[in-house]
Amino acid sequence: MDVLFDRGIYLPSLDLWLDSKRKQPVGYISHAHADHTAAHRKPILTPGTAILLRKLLRRSEPQMLEYGEEYHTPRYSLKLYPSGHCLGSALALVHCKATGERILYTGDFRVKPNPTAEPLGTVPCDVLIMESTYGRKDYVFPPQDEVLSDFFGRVLDWIDAGGTPVVLAYRTGKAQELLHHLLARGYSVALEEGAYEVTRSYEEAGVRFPGDYRAFDGTVRDGEALIFPSGRRTREALSGIRNKRYFGMSGWALNGERAHWTGADVSFPFSDHADYEELLAYVKAVGAREVYTVYGFPDLARQLTSTGYQAAHLEKGMSSVQLKFA
């Protein structure tokens, strides 16, 4: 199967774009994060992703597919499975009718349990096109329970000391996941307005949260935790809040430099992506004979090649034809 990468993945023999960042007549969108989306004329996506992208796709004619539902064209069929990353996120299994090949595109995926997304599917395939965000051996996350219990301990300490914990998490996905965890442990939470709006969309899609929460209105109540995206605007919005401490929640916390870059006072390796070992295990589990990695580190593809896989990392403007597996 020929695979091309150019601001998205293109399968020329099927004339199919996967997560193109440029507008296409037809394009599959794996999930609602901005680096995977464009306002395609006919986007193929799950209803959950469609709710999150309502504004972007207001002039589009979406082709919505539930998980497990099949979509047919003369050249291929396409079926979606949960990818565990955020609301509506999906793996796409593309079945080429001419050759019988099964191509699995993962988009961003997460192996560890996520209370606000359906669990990852393991889908047998011939060709795997997989994200490799954390595809470097330094990025093996500790067990999630340990990370969360460490995090909650530190949050509680800060509240007990009369301070306000500010949890840094991007608006779609991680904010809702952490909100769910905080509410389940009885914390009061206020979210930055954008994150609050996204959370309402989650509710509209049927996700339930174990408690009440509110949009941040400039004030903090006693014992409350805040959830905000990281960045300059957050600093400005919270400049009047005293005794705050920023908690960074990111896989990059395993790398001190990147943690500092997010402006967190303390960081925890909590990610909505698979880590290095989970990526390797997923390749094995789906039984792919050909693997293309995208978006992240090229190290993973090298490791796969050294253990006998036909594997390559695709970068900008690169086609699998140029790679010519030995």
Residue 252 phi, psi dihedral angles, 5° rounding: -70, -10
Stretch that binds Zn ion, among 100-108, 126-134, 154-162, 225-233 (CB under 5 A): 100-108
For residues 289 and 295, give the distance between their C-alpha atoms in angstroms, rounded to a whole number: 20
Q: Using N-to-C axis directions, what is the helix angle for 174-184 and 193-204, rounded to 10°? A: 80
Of the candidates 272, 178, 267, the residue with the CA atom closest to the CA atom of residue 228? 178
What does DSSP say about strands 214-215 and 188-191: parallel, antiparallel, or unpaired? Answer: parallel
183, 174 contact by CB (below 8 A): no
122, 154 contact by CB (below 8 A): no
33 or 171: whose CB is closer to Zn ion? 33
177 touching Zn ion, by CB under 5 A: no
First and final C-alpha spacing in the chain: 15
* Count, residues in the chain: 326
Is 223 exposed, middle or buried, given 0-12, 13-18 or 19+ CB atoms closer than 10 A?
middle
The two tokens of residue 76 are 């291929």
108 or 278: whose CB is closer to Zn ion? 108
For residues 186 and 223, give the distance between their C-alpha atoms in angstroms, rounded to a whole number: 11
131 touching Zn ion, by CB under 5 A: no
19 touching Zn ion, by CB under 5 A: no
108 touching Zn ion, by CB under 5 A: yes
Provide, rounded to whole angstroms, the least separation between the CB of residue 257 and Zn ion. Answer: 22
33 or 181: whose CB is closer to Zn ion? 33
Provide, rounded to whole angstroms, the least separation between the CB of residue 170 and Zn ion. Answer: 9
For residues 223 and 190, give the distance between their C-alpha atoms in angstroms, rounded to a whole number: 11
Stretch that binds Zn ion, among 101-109, 189-197, 211-219, 235-243 (CB under 5 A): 101-109
Provide, rounded to whole angstroms, the least separation between the CB of residue 33 and Zn ion. Answer: 4
Q: In what order do the strands lie in the sheet with 244-249?
A: 214-215, 188-191, 224-228, 164-168, 244-249, 266-268
Stretch that binds Zn ion, among 27-35, 69-77, 181-189, 231-239 (CB under 5 A): 27-35
108 or 126: whose CB is closer to Zn ion? 108
Stretch that binds Zn ion, among 102-110, 208-216, 295-303, 315-323 (CB under 5 A): 102-110
33 or 136: whose CB is closer to Zn ion? 33
Stretch that binds Zn ion, among 28-36, 140-148, 150-158, 252-260 (CB under 5 A): 28-36
108 or 192: whose CB is closer to Zn ion? 108
Q: Which of 8, 33, 45, 267 binds Zn ion (CB under 5 A)?
A: 33
Provide, rounded to whole angstroms, the least separation between the CB of residue 18 and Zn ion. Answer: 14
Provide, rounded to whole angstroms, the least separation between the CB of residue 240 and Zn ion. Answer: 32
**Interface size with Zn ion, residues (CB under 5 A):** 2
Provide, rounded to whole angstroms, the least separation between the CB of residue 131 and Zn ion. Answer: 8
Question: What residue ranges bind Zn ion (CB under 5 A)?
Answer: 33, 108
